[in-house]
Structure 1
Amino acid sequence: MMREIFSAVIIGVLGLLLLSSSSPITLVPTISNELPKKESHSIDLRENLYRLSVFNDATVMVVFEDKGRVTYLRQNVYYTYKNGKWIGEKFEGIKVFGKIPVFEPKAPHETIIDRVRVELKSPLLSGNLYTTLYTSWISIPALYSGDLELLRPKRYPVESYDFEATLYEFPDDVLRKAKVPKVGLEVPEVSEKVLKLAKNITKGIESPYEKALAIERYLEENYFYDEKAPPAPPGIDPVEWFLFYSKRGVCLDFNTAFVILARLNGLPARLVTGFKIKAEPGMQEVKLRQAHAWAEVYFEGIGWITFDATGSRRPEEEKEKVQQKSGVREVKVSLGNSTVIELPFKVNLTTNPEIPINITVEDGKTIVNITGEKVGWFNVTLGKLNLSILVGYNTTTKITKWPKEITAGSNFTVEGIVTTTEGILVPAGSVRIELRKEKDSPGKIVGRGEVRHGRFVVKCSATGVAGKYHIVAVYEGWGPYFESTSDPTIVIRDKAKIYVKEFNYTRVGSVKIQGFLGTEGGASLGGEYLEVFLDGKLVGVAKTDSSGRFSFFVGVGNPGIHKVTLVYEGSKGIEGDKKTIVFRAISASITIPSFVYAGDELEIRGKILGASDGTVSISGDFGDYYSKLSENGSFKLRIPVPQDAKGYRKVIIYYGDLKLIEREVYVKQKLLVDVSNALMVVNRSNELTVRITFINGSPLIGSKVMLVAFNETLSNITNKKGIVTFRITPESTGKYTAKLIVITNDGFEVIPIKLRVFRYPLYVYVGLFLLLLSLLLLSAKVIRVKLSFNREPPVYMTNETVEVKTNLPVSLYVNGKLHGRGKEFKLRLNPGNHKVYARFFFFSIEREVKVLDDYNNVIVCIFEECLDGEPSKTAREILGLNDLSLIFEKARYSLKKVSLGEVLRFFRGIRGRCLNEGASEK
């Protein structure tokens, strides 16, 4: 699948790079004897599609680094190498979202955290995310493999995500002393030459880490980076071909060799693929040509360490020098034809050739014309240059059987023949089948096969492609039989799929609609047109770029619910698609104060047009708060500000998932002022002391404070306790408002304070007060107010006059209302209970007067008021058998009415025996 992914990227499918592999999670990286189950994707070193990617300048993603410490973006890890291929493993992981529990080394180290954002140019439709070794946080829900440190998203497609990379740096001495686990990884079968080379590179080295460095240096210094390096021929392992024959290759060749040589030395190494980026802060575009492969080696207590053995590119002039120094140059000549080569120097033919050669010299250059008369290898010496000439057959490849139309993702078979131009069947060789949009451009490899007696049958898979293609059979040559191609057409049917970045809310105005046009089979559709409708009205046409991405702006003028519909009509072999998104457009008016005092409340209010329900969420440095909208779309929220807060604090307001506004509010520490000696004496020097603290209790130190009072301005500096003093001489008495102007780092504040100026010192007023208080206390013991009535107890009949006398001139109140002032009073009261209150300055007395409407009730009330101290006794037991007890019994138990005379006799008889005679005094 790896070769399919890279081929597809070259024709525009940039989202399907390097499908992932993984194994169960653990917090500690381990090396297991039992590797994970294999998945179908693999990397074939003979194809080595990294050679093709280096020529492709298409942008794969945009990366934003915070600190610029990330170099490698991993996507796949490989353990198993067999028959020239790296075979992938089945992905198994746990669900994560946010924080990831990564491995932490036991050895001494320094930890660095870098924040990275990845924006993909084509949505990731399958496979793993591009992350780092030891990714500790991810912004989207994902599956995580701890053994391989790989992440796969839970939902596709993925357009962007953020992650945090945890990077460990170790001292050199720690690395050089590190050991490797006893259990290693499988070592593939290699020739004796490879095994001997592996041991010679590390001869005399004991440290595992230094062994890895030695292998890395050897490959970097003895091999050259060359994307045009020839692939390994059949019958020889690609690692052996790279190490001993071609000695040229790309990153995959170098680091495959590193892993094999490391394992032969007992080092647990694995291959990693992904992208190599610039380790620098800020934004960078990542091109397809940055696709890369490298290696990782595991050390006990340290974890996996990255090694990259990729060598440098050999300059073109150096290549020419090497060719001349080695004295070998290969030339192919077809039978019956001539080939001309030009050398930039003069040479003479120094051997008797077995092949016709004509040499001419023009302007210091040597023109060599070689004619192919018979098939075979021929060696010709031109001075110090040796020519290795192959005379062979030109071939013709023809596809004889193939399906004219297929469904995307299905398998199909291509049959054909390969002959010489004379019609002779070629005996052997290999053929690959490519799907190409342009027949002369590289395409997607969909199958490989062998040519036997001039015929080939290749099983192919149409995954990740759709539409009309040239189906190209490429005969790769064999011995004296040269390459050739055949290119009929094929239609791959699929159904289009429109992926749109959906949203629930947006602002009124220009709204960006963006997405990706692909197919259900996984292809991207570049250069296609989609019609855009807003609320059923056609507003324009969007065109996809080469990777299938599109963006379009629609003008939304009114708040409310709106619909945008995208319609793709389809093309040759591709069924169209239609996608509608519904969203609410709003217009917001929000008021946020520019500053607030610590300890107060930050009041935020606003109104959202186009919304009558829902919730406004507020986040930032003050915490998270929510406010429901009223029916007219307004909201109001008060947020408490901590007393220790200070400086700028961020406030972000959302409606749903739409960010409405982001502001910074400046938090000032409120000043608390405590004024001492605010009571002053006129025409004397008074010291005013002011202590100024912040609301959190800390003093205001070293700040200038100015006092504006009595038409003059004074200034001073607060000490370490926040205290400042001023000397003031007021010229007149009275109450005054002064101003304190306090200058702080936040500006200045004006604080009013109250001052009171007296004529005499305070101790004079205190003395007078104490004297007056003493007189009052003395008088309270001497003076007593007495209140008496013309009848005791004061119980009266209706219409009787109540006569009141006092010993002092008083203010007399009846039932709380002022009746008059004097010493004698006459009252006419209605039936009921009445409060009579007399007051003389601070002294007072209160009595209760009863007014009744029946003489019998008067007698009973007087008895109960005066004589009923023992309610269990009868009147005769209390009074004896006499006129008083008889009058009471008549009033209490008889139906007859007592007379006024009887009432008066009863009053006179019990006057001296009344229990309740007297008054309540205050």
Structure 2
Amino acid sequence: MVEVRNIMVQRKQVTFLTITLISLLLTSIALRPAIIKAPPETKSIEELLSPKLPPGNETNETGPPGEPNLVLLVSGAAHTHYLRLNVYTDYEAGRWVTRNATAVQRNVIAPPEITVPHHAERDNVTVISFTPLTGNLFTSLYTTRVEGAGAEVVPEYNLFRTGLRVSSYSFSSVSYTFDWPHLVNLTAGNQSIYLSAPNDTRLESLARGITLGSLSDYEKAVRIARYLAENYRVEDDVAPPEGTDRLRWFLLDSKAGTPYDFATAFVILARLNDLPARLVEGLYIEAIPQTQVVTEKNRHFWAEVYFNGAGWLVFDPLHPDPNVYTPFELSIRGVPPILEPNGTGTLGIMFERVASESGARVEVKAPEVGVIALINESGIHNVTIGPFWKPGYYPIIVNASTERGESIVRFAQVLVPGELSARPNRTAVNLLKSGSEEVEITVYGTGKIDLETDSRLVESWSAIETVRNETKIYVRLNAPADYPNGLHVEKLVVTKDGQKFPVYLPVIVVERTEVKANVPKTLTAGEFLNLTGEVITPTGERPTRGKAAAFISDGNRMILLGVSNVSNGTFSVFARIPPYLEPGTGQVMLYYIAPIGYPYLPGGNVVTVRIRGLSRFSLSGPILTRPGNVTIVGTLRDGAGRPIANASVNYYLDGRPLGGTKTLTSGGFSLRLYLPEVGRHVLTLEHPGSKDYAPSVLNVTVAAVELELPREVEAGPGEPVKISGRVIGIEDAVIEAYVFPEKTYTASVANGSFSLTLEPFQAVGEKSVEFRQGARVLGRTAVKVVSPLRIEALTKRAEGEEKARVELKVTDVLDEPVEGIQLEVKAGNFSTLALTNGSGIATVYLPVSDEETNETVTVVFRGSTYYLPTRAELHIVLSREKSFPWPYLVVLAIVGVLAGKYWLGRTRREETSGRTVKIIFRDGLPLFRKGEEIELEVECGGEAELRVDGKPLGRGRRFRLDLPPGRHEIEAICGNEIERTAVRVVPSYGKVVVEDYERCFLPWARKAGLNVEELTPREIAKALKDMMYPWEPINVVTETLERVKYGGGEVTREEFIRFHRAMLELTGGECVV
């Protein structure tokens, strides 16, 4: 009563505070204009109590971007461009929606297992929001931990969320990039739920046209992104005509849209090319460690595509491919194109996503000035440019490089004007050795213009005056064969009337490369080879750095064979031809991949080859059989498991040729051997090869064996059965024991012996055990299940005039009655025989004496086929029955009749008044899934009144309910009797499966002696079955859990009931819903 009063007081306090806050809110809204004159930028109480949330919070669908408020401070994002907020899975009626996914109450998740060679970077990012956030949090794709109030993870979408309002949080993440050859080799993953797309023939035709000729799934995705980037333009304020589908209007008509339109188009086009893709909403930020301000202007949409071995990869038509490994990103902005003499300007340098341990740095320099700045850390840096004392054209050279020789160079134009000024039309020139390029220099003014230079790259020049009071100088550049490759700054001096104006022109001299390799004309699927070759330029130079990649194509896709470093122009790629290739013509493609910034162009070579398919026999050994004739059945298949038809197969036994056969259309073949006695032999199968398939040989052991088994094994009901035996003719093998009708066990033969344990049998009788290998029967034995008997006296005291009636009961070891058991009963000098009936009861009549005696009765069972001999000594009190005078009997009978009538009437009244009320659920299980109809029946003397959570529902016997998720109290009132129970409604049965497994099954397994923390569910199941616990309920529990927890599947009510009953059978009824 005290607790109830305290609760009532607390509720009154909460109600009072709530009413007070609401009153203050309403008063401030209604009276604020009259009472308070606040500054224009002051937030209202509505904004403080109900701030706008970032886009997508607490929603599961999206259309084009909206305009909510957002200001974040983000720091630590050294390798992170994309902060994810929402993932969308289904495009329905022009809008994206998200399928429901389960949030797990933990703040950590393991990163994916990336099996493709890759580079990994880790970030620790902190986010501070000016407006409290709730719902999904901004995190990167592979966030592994979030430190924030109430954080929980949604594993299906790699998202984190919180049910609280937080203003700051931090997260740890890992990001992956890949070298180009490994990206090209990727194949799309099996994620069918991310393949749904509109049924539109025009969109499908467009999608297939974009990727036509692609030789890999990754190339398809890159082509789609490039197509959108090159053929569509970004416009922030676009809207389709009313009634027009936005996606079709963007792709087929307007060709202008927002990042949302680009990302939506990419996802749909990817899905139409069988690439599993999803839409992601979030923010695009700078990949720098320093603190940056992020606002609604950073809102962005992009796509993610799933690939085997690499996981989800980001694709964004509006930004460079983030999946290709680069040691850093470099860009410049903000330098003024014209500086006055002695003037200065500011150049913004964005040095981002710098790879760890790359030793990368940035050098900023300019002609006449030299080195302006050295930058050794990533971030956004502002560098002062100048002063330049003399007029001229001075390119600012920003060169980022690593210790491994990788580099990226950016150029900024700076013009310092004088009385004579000139400007080239190109910031820098890429000049191919032995090729030529033309540069146009605009000179402001006319007159006699001359050009002075000592550059060997200048082949010729000419000048033309224009009508705009300008002179155009056309300079032709040509790199001699002996000119060094790399970056050169050439000085060109424009002269006029004694005035000189220097123009410094950056020229990058690069050279083509050729790849030469020794490639066999015929390759066999599955074979290993070493592809050696060289990389050389037309002038005979050999690059000292870079990589060589080898691919093979069967016309449908490119398959990576291997990657090797290039050293002094040579390489060696150790490769294996994929075993699954079909016979036919293919191409081996060899590529030279120069380091970024290296002055050599990528080169390649394509060699056409003939491919022979791999052939291999499918026949496992050793093969065991009994002496005599044996038929061997096998198949001949290629490396992909496809059958090879009409192929020759020769076979030998211990080196002696026995004959040949042909494979069928299915690739199958059979041959017959005669093995007259016990012994071990080697069967050799040989496919001689053909034009399309390589030869194949298989040696397999064939042994004629005899099994030494006990003729019969005896065991009791409920006891494990151990069978041991020997195999004569082979030392080591695996055989199977089959117990009719459906149970199979595996036995390992070691040193010619084996031993296995069968699950207990519950009933007496004989069970046949057949030892096999495949369809070949090697031997048989029988398990004889016998039971001891227990004999007890149901009659402890018996009376009779001459003989007294005594009942004896016979049960087996499982306490089950046994019928047809003949008992020898002896009491003193008296003996008789008795037979048990269907209830296991035998009735005997024993003689009585005048005096009451405590007789020792000996009962003997001599034994039978399935029951062991038993002897029991029972003590029964025997006495002579006393006679009563008939008058007393009559009076006693009358009194008995009257008492019986009274007792019967009273019993009926008590049964009527005390009748039990029962609530019975469908299937007997008071647990249902949301949306399922709850069927229940009330048993009582009449119609019952049903109440749910205290509210009357109606009267009757049968009811159908539709209740929301949660626990509900059910009451059935029948007269003065009330029955109460509870029913639970859950969002899904799968969640209950996981809960019951952890709540009931794991503690039970722990009590059984298992260290469950170190075992997987399947390992737990195997260990329990090895301990002879019943296999069927263990399999039901484990398979249901794995399907729900790891496969993402759902279970039906019937499957859950089966799971629940299996759980009860194992745990002994301790796990209730």
TM-score normalised over the length of structure 1: 0.30
Q: Which has the larger radius of gyration?
A: 1
Q: Pick 1 or 2: higher relative contact order, CA cutoff 8 A, min separation 6.
A: 1
